[in-house]
Structure 1
Amino acid sequence: GKIYSALEGDTVASALLANGVHLIGRSFKYHRPRGFLSAGPEEPNALIDVSRDSMRKQPNVRATVQDVFDGAIIASQNRFPSLSFDISAINDFLSPMFAAGFYYKTFMWPKAAWHKIYEPIIRRAAGLGKAPSEPDADHYSSRYAHCDLLVAGGGVAGLTAALAAANTGASVILVDENAEIGGALRFDTGAVINGLPGYEWAQKVLAELKSLPNVRVLTRTTAFGYYNHN
């Protein structure tokens, strides 16, 4: 319900921090307050609900990788009635009673209570965000891609490997889950490579890779597995 301004290129996380917002979520079990822990896809705390309208809604998005866009509706999750005042935080005070694995003994008795009491409560508590209630209005396409070398990550090592392989004539696909190539060079202002500032070097190599017909560069792309039969 609050309106914030942000800069193009901001993530939701960086925009909220710039506006002085540090509380981003609640822990799943005890509902303890949680802030931002990382600046990338490994973020465990900053899970948000992102929507543009009722037809386009996605829960459990990491705020550290979600770019801001005009009209974005961002909501916190796993709290009631609000993030700052969550009545489930009483679990924190009761934590001595909720030791790890307590449910394996507690929910065994009385046997008849499982179906009427325990299971409904557990089902309501399970999960974090709420699934969309409307069908997805967007359409998606899939395709097969083939290459001699797939490079996951567009940092120093990834850019160097991709360029070296491409110069031998190999077919190369370079993927990076961030919106911009460069890895840590996007933040490390002291890095110098081949006499150039690190970020400038990364952009120079990126331009060279994009100019080669045997290279594909895919940002906002996650490589998550390599399986039998390629």
Structure 2
Amino acid sequence: MRGNQANRLAAGGLIDRSTPLSFRFDGKTLSGFQGDTLASALVANGVKLVGRSFKYHRPRGILTAGSEEPNALVELRSGARREPNTKATTAELYEGLEAASQNRWPSLDFDVMAVNQLFAPIFVAGFYYKTFMWPAKFWEAIYEPAIRRAAGLGRAAGIPDPDRYDKAWAHCDVAIAGSGPAGLAAALAAARCGARVILCEEDFVLGGRLLADGGTID
């Protein structure tokens, strides 16, 4: 069932409301717009729970709007193209995107491992340094297999990636990290002086803080 985007503002933002997109999260079909991140589309559809914490499996929602996001780590796609631990706040929404939550079983809403919260008083930082030391023969038979099963968040594909990726041996006179107002101004000034410039940006659109603050500089 397509989401109704009940939390979507009627106007504003950098999205193109004339270009709707359909995507799936944990098997549910939802909708967004061109220019959304996966995170903003989830918020618009009223999805607040996106993952579970590592140790206690406590419910986690979207905390930030960028690459500093600590909670909204999801799996994108499936099969050989599965990409774990992707930040929903930096993933550009596209038609047919498949995403799934991580670190839960059997489902995000009902996670059996949330029972770990009951043991929080004894699962303090460093408890494992004493707990798993004895008896020694338990390490290979019990402790290590259990720890390996519990470690990590997402699942690697386990089979070769069938895609090929572009790369370039690029050379420049000036490399600029970030396309905010300072980065754009520096790139323009260097290019006008005849320098070869590479402007690096982690987002899928240039602007940095200008995207949120608006306005025009010079």
TM (normalized to structure 1)? 0.80
Task: Give 1:34's match in structure 2, choosing from 42, 60, 74.
Answer: 60
- Percent identity over paired residues: 58
1:90 aligns with 2:105: no
Q: Name stretches of at least 5 consecutive residues in structure 2 with no aligned partner.
A: 1-26
SS class of match (1:96) = coil
1:22 aligns with 2:48: yes
Residue in 1 that maps onto 2:179: 154
SS class of match (1:137) = coil
Task: Kindly report which structure 2 residues correspond to 1:181-196, keeping only aligned pairs within 5 A, or say none.
Answer: 181-189=206-214, 191-194=215-218
Task: Give 2:97's match in structure 1, choosing from 61, 72, 75.
Answer: 72
Cα distance in 2 for partners of 1:14, 1:5 equals 11
Higher RCO, 1 vs 2 (CA within 8 Å, ≥6 residues apart): 2
Shift in Å at residue 192 of structure 1?
4.6
Task: Give 2:75's match in structure 1, choosing from 43, 49, 62.
Answer: 49
Residue in 1 that maps onto 2:157: 132
SS class of match (2:69) = coil
Cα distance in 2 for partners of 1:136, 1:15 equals 27
Shift in Å at residue 134 of structure 1?
2.8
Cα distance in 2 for partners of 1:168, 1:192 equals 23
**Comparing 141-150 and 96-105, the one that deviates more:** 141-150
Give per-residue Cα distances to partners, 1:170-207, cap 9 Å, x unaligned. 11111111111111111113x4533xxxxxxxxxxxxx
Cα distance in 1 for partners of 2:140, 2:85 equals 29
Residue in 2 that maps onto 1:114: 139
Give per-residue Cα distances to partners, 1:51-93, cap 9 Å, x unaligned. 0x52321111110111112222110000111111111111112
Between Structure 1 and Structure 2, how many residues are aligned?
192
Give per-residue Cα distances to partners, 1:71-130, cap 9 Å, x unaligned. 221100001111111111111121001010000000001111111110000000111101
Aligned-residue CA RMSD in angstroms?
1.2
Runs of 4 or more off by more than 4 Å in structure 1? none
Shift in Å at residue 41 of structure 1?
1.0
